[in-house]
Amino acid sequence: MPSTRDIRRRIKSVKNTAQITKAMQMVAASKMRRAQQAALAGRPYATLLNEVLGNVVFHAGDFTHPLMEAREVKRQAVILISTDKGLCGALNSNLMREASKLAPDTLFITAGRKAAQFVARTKRRLAAEFLYKDTPLFAEARSISKFARDLFLSGAADRVDLLYTRFVSTLVQRPEARPFLPVGELGPVIAGFDQPPAPSQLAQAATEFLFEPDAGQVLGALLPHSLNFQIFQVLLEAKASEQSARMVAMKSATDNAHQLIKDLTLEYNKLRQGNITNELLEISTAALALE
């Protein structure tokens, strides 16, 4: 049975832990608001970009592009986007569980240390490792997108997918897989946003579009930018998911620490009261023996 000294030490240790988790909760809450605002702010542009791509592709006729070339999938690559740090609940575990379902010969392009550690731990094939900041930069997304495009165009991969954590709400973040390359008939689908308009809907539109110099060249210039922005938006979604999950996890840890302190305090008081009672009994017994 632990002594009162042991319980006091444990209470002090749990209080110190609670202070740390509370501080981490406040920091994560501050970062979470900024990350969520950035992710939500990019969605209207992503929706409009898909709309423009749908219109351009529909009016481009028989236009073809190397990034739109669909071929038999012999080698698959996946851009796996995770966090750099832990202490964010089951966020990374759920993501890695989905990644572990992929074929053993899948080629991974990782963004985030946890993704790179998963690939090394499971002895998967790693094509490249990227890092991104707490506030993702478009240049970071452009680097990841360019490497994936080069991988696809060189024939090292016949298909490239995205695997990331989609931000739904502060309490809900879901791992999600999205096609990245080759680009479909209506352009890339920006993760978590509206689909491009269907050709039948575009055909019914009364508006006639004129492209200068022509629709093919416009689409050829627009495709790389849309892929870059798709990666950028996914990085924003992943960062918003990370900060939300960390804030919730640290709040839960703080609440559990406070509950544990209450339980330990109750146990300490019971043990202390028991010791006092035993001492009183010993004093009373000694007094009676002297009479």
3-state helix/strand/coil string of 93-113: HHHHHHHCCCCCCCEEEEECH
Is the same domain home to 202 and 274? no
Residue 241: what are its φ and ψ, rounded to 5°?
Answer: -65, -45
Is the same domain home to 73 and 83? yes
Distances in whole angstroms, Cα of residue 153 to Cα of each of 70, 150, 160, 193: 11, 5, 11, 26
In a domain, 284, yes or no: no
Q: What is the pLDDT of residue 219?
A: 77
Cα 133 from Cα 35, distance rounded (Å): 11
Is the same domain home to 143 and 258? no
Is the same domain home to 132 and 168? yes
Is the same domain home to 273 and 164? no
CATH number at residue 63: 3.40.1380.10
Residue 179 forms beta bridges with which residues?
161
CA angle 275, 278, 282 (to 5 degrees): 140
In a domain, 139, yes or no: yes
Range 187-200 burial, b when 16+ CB lie within 10 A, else e: bbbbbbbeebbeee
In a domain, 84, yes or no: yes
- Are 109 and 189 in contact by the 8 Å Cβ rule? The answer is no
Is the same domain home to 270 and 135? no
Residue 126 forms beta bridges with which residues?
108
Is the same domain home to 198 and 136? yes
Question: What token pair was written down for 268?
Answer: 């300490």
In a domain, 262, yes or no: yes
Q: What is the pLDDT of residue 61?
A: 62
Is the same domain home to 262 and 139? no
pTM above 0.85, yes or no: no
Is the same domain home to 41 and 183? yes
Is the same domain home to 49 and 106? yes
| Parallel/antiparallel/unpaired status of strands 76-81 and 107-111 | parallel
Cβ neighbours for 267, distance < 8 A, ≥ 6 positions apart: 7
Instruction: State the residue for tokens 């074929």.
Output: 103
CA angle 141, 231, 131 (to 5 degrees): 45
Residue 192: what are its φ and ψ, rounded to 5°?
Answer: 80, 15
In a domain, 145, yes or no: yes
Which residues are marked as active site?
A: 88
In a domain, 288, yes or no: no
Is the same domain home to 263 and 201? no
Residue 129: what are its φ and ψ, rounded to 5°?
Answer: -125, 125
In a domain, 285, yes or no: no
Handedness of CA 166, 168, 174, 179 (dihedral sign): negative
In a domain, 289, yes or no: no
Give the pLDDT of the chain (291 residues) as one tens digit per residue.
678 888 889 999 999 999 999 999 999 999 999 999 999 998 888 878 877 776 666 666 666 778 888 888 888 999 999 999 888 989 999 999 999 999 888 999 999 999 999 999 999 999 999 999 888 999 999 999 999 999 999 989 999 999 999 999 989 999 999 888 888 644 444 444 444 444 444 444 445 667 777 767 777 788 888 899 989 999 999 999 999 999 999 999 999 999 999 999 999 898 888 888 887 887 878 777 777
- Strands of the chain (E only): list them: 76-81, 107-111, 125-130, 159-167, 173-181
Domain count, the chain: 2
- Residue range(s) defining the domain that contains residue 124: 23-247
Question: What single DSSP character describes residue 210?
Answer: -
Is the same domain home to 164 and 92? yes
